[in-house]
Amino acid sequence: MRAVVFDGEVRVTERPTPRPAPGEALIRVLTTGICNTDLEIVKGYMGFRGVLGHEFVGVVEECSNPALDGKRVVGEINCACHRCRYCQLEMPHHCLRRSVLGILDRDGALAQYLTLPEENLHIVPNSIRDDVAAFTEPLAAAFRITEQLSIGEDDRVVVLGDGKMGQLCMQAVWLHTKRLVCVGKHPWKLDLLKDLHINIARHDDPVEPGADVVIEATGTPGGLQRAIELVRPEGTIVLKTTVADETPMALSAVVINEIKIVGSRCGPFRPALEALAMGNVEVRPMITEAYSLKDAAHALRRAAASDVMKVLVHI
């Protein structure tokens, strides 16, 4: 099969078609989304070497579960051992021996085929198009916030960052409170939220401090500092992006104001699929460009450009 491999440089090459282990399915990939995490991996994040990509929709070609055979699916990316202490505590996303699709010890979705445990797969409703279904994994990550925090209609929320994750976090939280604002640097990206009647602000606009929750989705060194400035005492900051670079920080204000900082990673697929099927979250305007697999190396370069939002690769 053809696949996009990172081994110090990105290249499209031939690889053996993967063979599913017992309990796994072989999936023919239809569409893969490029994520900021993919771009950070290319910079050295996680030290990963192998096939990139973890946001996908595909068709099950081989499996032991007849309910999945031939079905269009999306998949959770963490593959757990079910034996370690975190698995026993029902925390499989933090499994000590986990592999992670396209991120840790498991080849990813920028390929014609991939394998995942059958238990990780979710059937995609017929009403959801392939290009929309490819957003399920990052949207699930946005819904993780409302799993971790109880956000009510009276809570005031600030989202820092108008990129892919910031946009999805805004829409996920919008279902719980309308008292929120997205702060970003790119007028054309902010306009996507404005079209959905969601409040926006430029990064140099004055933003009222004292927010109950600040979601940091810029992935920049200054993002956390801005979040500390905007959150109220005993409020919560949610960190939603992963970056390769280390970030030096002065954290005395966190101690003085007793601010909670919550890391937030992978989330629930069921509410993400329901939101996409019902149209409660709109992702199509975020799609900037699409490429074929043979042009995937160029697609990765374009995904890092400031004039691009979401890049898809059709396999």
Could you read off the pLDDT of 217-245 as tens digits, one per residue?
A: 998 878 999 999 999 999 999 999 876 56
| The pLDDT value given to residue 284 | 97
Position 222 scores a pLDDT of 85
| Domain spans, the chain | 2-135+283-314, 141-263
Domain 141-263 falls under CATH 1.10.3720.10: no
- Cβ atoms 168, 285 nearer than 8 A: no
The answer to whether the beta carbons of residues 180 and 160 sit under 8 Å apart is no
pLDDT one-digit tens code per residue, 9-59: 999 999 999 999 999 999 999 999 999 999 999 998 889 999 999 999 999
Percent of the chain at pLDDT exceeding 70:
98
Computed over every residue of the chain, the mean pLDDT equals: 95
Q: Say yes or no to pLDDT of 247 above 80.
A: no
The percent of residues above 90 in pLDDT, for the chain, comes to 94
The top-level CATH class assigned to 2-135+283-314 is: alpha beta
Residue 226 CB partners (closer than 8 Å, separation 6+): 160, 183, 216, 218
* Model pTM above 0.85: yes
